[in-house]
Structures are given as structure tokens and as C-alpha cells.
Amino acid sequence: MNQLQLQTTVREALNEDLGSGDGTTEALVSERDRTSAVLLAKQEGVVAGLLVAEAVYQQLDPTLQLHREVEEGERVTPGTVLAQLEGSTRALLSGERVALNFLQRLSGIATVTRQVVDALAGLDCQVLDTRKTTPGLRMLEKYAVRIGGGSNHRFGLSHAVMIKDNHIAVAGSLARAVARVREYNGPLVPVEVEADTLEQVEEAVALDVDAILLDNMDPATLRQAVERIDGRIWTEASGGITPETARQVAETGVNGISLGWLTHSVDALDISLDIQHKEESI
């Protein structure tokens, strides 16, 4: 976790929500008031993002204490207390929505990731995320995938070379695209290519690429592709894979399955912040 980026992301989220101030809380609560509260799971799932919630509150009240009752990646049931908080009443109320937005979304991602990982139990196949993330939240969303037991694909365009169908169209052919990216990036940078057909798979194998993305293939075609590659090149399957079909796809022998919906269309986990005790103003 890049701490500088975390602090920047949290600061921007707080600025978006608080603006010039919280008119409701500031009218009702003295600066001196202190409060205890709990973060409470209201739905079964996997927790991710307590460190982000803590970062939110630390920016509003550096003296605020968040005591974890569960660890990141732990399965919880409705009614589980995730953390105890003690600090400024104003900070707890003003930061509630931002803290919960992060915690609920990241926990939702970790939950669905764990479900897929569990569905693939016993198979040597990685569950991978994609770049289909919320703008500005990629680091946190990919963190949640790891907490859920998945693995991160490339973080951004500068982290790996992947030649996809539109790149091939621009270059004129797969062979020309591979030659040009190797010339530009040098021989030590791995090259992954996208293949939609068995013919493209054979072409990619002949070009000795490092990885092949088998895109939108049905399980029967995937199995044929894996057989033709014969372990010589790392493979991943992508496109149209659902929680129900993930194991069937993994059973074809691919090394990984990449799932955009882990981050782009996940449901948030239901978590609440409940005030427990308000201390007298000093």
C-alpha cells in the first residue's frame, strides 16, 4: 500500500464530501465533545479497508483511536463488531460517509473475490483483476482483490505490455505488433497478446510470446487452446466468465482467469457506524 497515495485519495474524498464544513454536525456538536462508536457488519462477507477507514478519521482527528476487532480478510457475519472507535464526535460524524464508502466498497470486492477463489479450490488457477476499476481508486480496489485471495494483473499501461485486438488492427498484423513492441521496449520486457481464435493462438505460440489472453472462448475451445499451447506459455482466460462458470473455465487448464466485474460492478457490503457513548464536554 502506497501510504502517500492513500493519504491523497482520502484527502480528496474528504474534500469532496466536507467542502467548507459540515453544517449539521458543527451546529449540533461542540469541538470538545468526544464519542465512542463501533463499525458493525450487517451482512455476511469478507472485510477489507479498515486501514482506509482509519486513515479517514486520522485526517480529521489525529488523536482518534481505531481498535480492530477483526483483521483484514476475515469472514464476518451480521452483528460482528469490526472495530471500536474513540475520538472527536465531530470527526466521527463528519467522516462517517467517506469512511463507510471506502470500507463497504472494498469489503464488497474482497467478498466476491473470495467467493471465486473458493469456487476454484483445488485447481491451479489464479483469480485476477483487471484495469476496469473506479478512476482514482485502482490502488485500493486492487488491494481489496488481494485481501480476498485474488492476484493483481498489471496495475497500469506502464507495468506490462499487452497487445490486444485494436493494437493488432493498428499495426496490421500480430507479427508486426509483437516485433514493434519488442523493439521499443527491449528484450527483457514480457509480452502478452490477446487471441480470439485457435489460429491466433498458433500464431502467438510461433512468435514465442510470454503470455496469451484467451478472450471470449467457450470452455471447449479454451481446452483446445491450452492443449495446443502445451504448457509452453502462460495463459489466462477472460470475457463472459461468471461466478457460475468460473470453475468450468478454470478446469480447462488455463493458468488464470481475469474478471473485470470483481471491481467494476460489485455490490458494497452493508456496514454501519453506530455511536455508543458520548462523553461530557470539557
List, by residue number, the catalytic residues: 97, 132, 164, 194, 215
Q: What is the dihedral of CA 14, 19, 20, 21, to 10 degrees?
A: -60
Per the CB < 8 A criterion, the answer to whether 50 and 68 are in contact is yes
Contacts of 66 (CB under 8 A, 6+ apart): 50, 53, 54, 57, 83, 84, 85
Q: Count other Cβ atoms within 10 Å, centred on residue 203.
A: 17
State in Å, rounded, how far the first CA of the chain is from the last one. 38
Q: Count other Cβ atoms within 10 Å, centred on residue 60.
A: 21
For residue 235 the three cell numbers come to: 495463459
CA distances from 107 to 25, 27, 93 (A): 27, 33, 21
Alpha helices (H) in 42-95, listed in sequence order: 50-60, 89-94
